[in-house]
Copies of this chain bind each other. A is one copy, B any other.
Amino acid sequence: MKKLINDPQDVMRESLAGFAAAHADILKVSFDPVYVVRADAPVTGQVGIISGGGSGHEPLHGGFVGKGMLDAACPGQVFTSPSPDQMEAATAAVNGGAGVLHIVKNYTGDVMNFEMAAELCQARGIEVQAVVINDDVAVQDSLYTAGRRGVGATVLAEKICGAAAARGYDLGRVAALAGRVNACARSMGMALSPCTVPAAGKPNFVLGDDEMEMGVGIHGEPGRRRMALMPAAESVAHMAEAILADLPFRAGDRVIAMLNGMGGTPLIELYLVYGELEQHLRSRQITIARRLVGNYITSLDMAGCSITLLQVDDELLSLWDAPVLTPALRWGI
């Protein structure tokens, strides 16, 4: 294993220490229990939004904490769910009196722990609603998931709900929006290489020199099929068709598209893939109204990418365009 780390056991905390030092203008990090929180939390009278999950998917979730997006994020150890006490403390820290939304990716540990945290918070008199994101069309059930996995739509839900909270939507409306984003978004990913969890010290699966994993999960979970390496245009067509057929998306749809890198794939390739995606969608009369191209929900050093498409209307676009100031997404401020 070759990584820029010290002791593999300390990666999450040491990375958070650097993250806190780099972004002190936007956020603070609590280390006991561990959570990342907006520097100005709680915002009185505004719905709080938190998310969380295992580390190793940076910038998700901590990189999306700040004005107009998440109020707090709870990072677990690498690929390990955070604990209910982290979620409870983060919820209390962002509660401005209007309740708190938990945005939860569908992994068994995350769902269970967020449920427990919500109960603890409600017992303390904090109103909590939770929305589970399960946008990955690749497989039904998986290594750590009953049902479908939650992946890229989480980023879009965090942005859109954060904007809605900043506009003064109440908890019910913000939660409904998260549900709507989840209902209207679909994702699929692929890997050219495995990734290496620091504490494990070796790659988490094996791929041949001429193979790729189509439909891979963000922890290296098996996808739909181990396939022969193919040109980018074919990989994109494969993922896009699976996504389009699932919702289904239709000619005339407008979408927000996220072309996401898994962490080890350079930008020159991601833009090439984005070009293929745009062409493919144009051939299906689908218009990309907004897009993200880059590393947003990663799998450590895995090479590969994922595509997320969200069917949008003017309300969702307006919330997408609203100002945001976080380490990883920033515009309008």
A-side residues, CB < 8 A to B, are 2-7, 11-12, 14-19, 21-22, 55-56, 58-59, 63, 78, 192-193, 209, 212, 229, 231-233, 235, 263-276, 278, 291, 293, 295, 298, 300-301, 303-305, 330-331, 333
Knowing A293-B18, A293-B22, the reply to whether A4 touches B273 (Cβ < 8 A) is yes
List 7 A-B pairs, minimum CB-CB distance, nearest first: A18-B275, A58-B267, A18-B271, A18-B274, A4-B269, A263-B266, A2-B192
A3-B192, A266-B295 are known; give 9 further A-B pairs, CB within 8 A: A2-B209, A4-B232, A17-B275, A18-B272, A18-B273, A56-B266, A56-B268, A58-B266, A268-B300
Q: Report which residue of A231, A232, A276, A291 has the largest number of chain B beta carbons within 10 angstroms of its beta carbon.
A: A232
> How far apart sit A124 and B27, CA to CA, in the bound complex (Å)?
52
CB distance from A301 to the nearest CB of B (A): 5
Does the CB pair B4–A305 fall under 8 Å?
yes
Does the CB pair B4–A229 fall under 8 Å?
no
> How far apart sit A275 and B263, CA to CA, in the bound complex (Å)?
20
Q: Number of copies of this chain in the oligomer?
A: 2
A16's nearest neighbour on chain B, judged by CB, is: B271
Knowing A22-B291, A232-B6, A269-B3, the reply to whether A15 touches B192 (Cβ < 8 A) is no
CB distance from A180 to the nearest CB of B (A): 25
Q: What would be 26 A-B contacts, judged by CB atoms less than 8 Å apart? A: A2-B192, A3-B269, A4-B192, A4-B273, A4-B305, A5-B231, A5-B232, A5-B272, A7-B231, A14-B275, A15-B269, A16-B271, A17-B272, A17-B275, A18-B272, A21-B274, A21-B275, A22-B271, A22-B291, A56-B266, A56-B268, A58-B266, A58-B268, A78-B268, A263-B267, A264-B264
> How far apart sit A273 and B19, CA to CA, in the bound complex (Å)?
10
Does the CB pair B265–A301 fall under 8 Å?
yes
> How far apart sit A17 and B277, CA to CA, in the bound complex (Å)?
11
Does the CB pair B303–A231 fall under 8 Å?
no
Q: Report which residue of A56, A263, A269 has the largest number of chain B beta carbons within 10 angstroms of its beta carbon.
A: A269
CB distance from A104 to the nearest CB of B (A): 21
CB distance from A306 to the nearest CB of B (A): 11
Chain B residues whose C-beta falls within 8 Å of the C-beta of A21 in the assembled complex: 274-275, 278
